[in-house]
Amino acid sequence: MSEAKKYPAPVTNPETAAFWDAAKQGKFMIKRCTACGEAHYFPRAICPFCYSDKTVWEESSGEGTIYTYSLMRKSPTGPYAIGYVTLKEGPSLQTNFVDCDLTTLKIGQKVKVVFKPTDGAPLPFFTAA
């Protein structure tokens, strides 16, 4: 896999701009609802669980475990591993695993967030912790 793989820049919108602004500072943000207490990802203005609009930004530890993964053996840009990570804070999210041995990934493995540059805001990925 090429380290120079080019990722698309996020389009961003008013609802998610704060996430991408924080990403530029190397911070990985999630949203938490102050009405029901639940954290969610990707971020929404309205809590998807209780429909309260009292959602606030919270910096995630960026630490989590692999819920599942699949190693795509071929693609125009080489093999890549897609998967879901369950964050310490609770929510699970889709990602790619990078900068580690993709052939030894395991469900339950500890991983941490790492940002990759784009022409716009950087994108979050996960790597072996």
Partner 1 sequence: MTIKGKAYIAGIFEHPTRHAPDKSTAQLHAEVAKGALEDAGISKDDVDGYFCAGDAPGGAWPMVDYLGLNTRKLRHVDSTETGGCSYIIHLGHAAEAIAAGKCSIALITLAGKPRTGVMPPRAAGAEADFESAYGATTHNAYGMCAMRHMHDYGTTSEQLAWIKVAASHHAQYNPHAMLKDVVTVEDVLNSPMISDPLHRMDCCVVSDGGGALIVTTPEIARSLKKPLVKLIGHGEAMKGPRGGKDLDLTYSAGIWSGPRAFEEAGITPKDIKYASIYDSFTITVLMQLEDLGFCKKGEGGKFVADGNLISGVGKLPFNTDGGGLCSNHPVNRGGMTKILEAVRQLRGEAHPKVQVKNCDLAIAHGTGGLLGVRHAASTAILERV
Using rule CB under 8 A, residue 101 touches partner 1: no
Length, in residues, of the chain: 129
Interface with partner 1 (CB under 8 A), residue from 11, 14, 56, 101: 11
Q: Strand 55-59 vs strand 92-97: parallel, antiparallel, or unpaired? A: unpaired
CA distance 66 to 78: 22
Interface with partner 1 (CB under 8 A), residue from 35, 38, 112, 127: 38
- 8 Å CB contact between 127 and 100: yes
3-state secondary structure of 102: helix
Using rule CB under 8 A, residue 8 touches partner 1: yes
Interface with partner 1 (CB under 8 A), residue from 26, 48, 51, 117: 48
3-state secondary structure of 123: strand
- 8 Å CB contact between 15 and 43: yes
Using rule CB under 8 A, residue 93 touches partner 1: yes
Nearer to partner 1, 41 or 62 (CB): 41
Site size toward partner 1 (CB under 8 A) is: 40
How is residue 44 written in tokens?
């929404």
Q: Which residues of the shown chain bind partner 1 in the complex (CB under 8 A)?
A: 7-8, 10-13, 16, 20, 38, 40-42, 44, 48-49, 67-75, 80, 82-84, 86-87, 90-96, 107, 118, 123
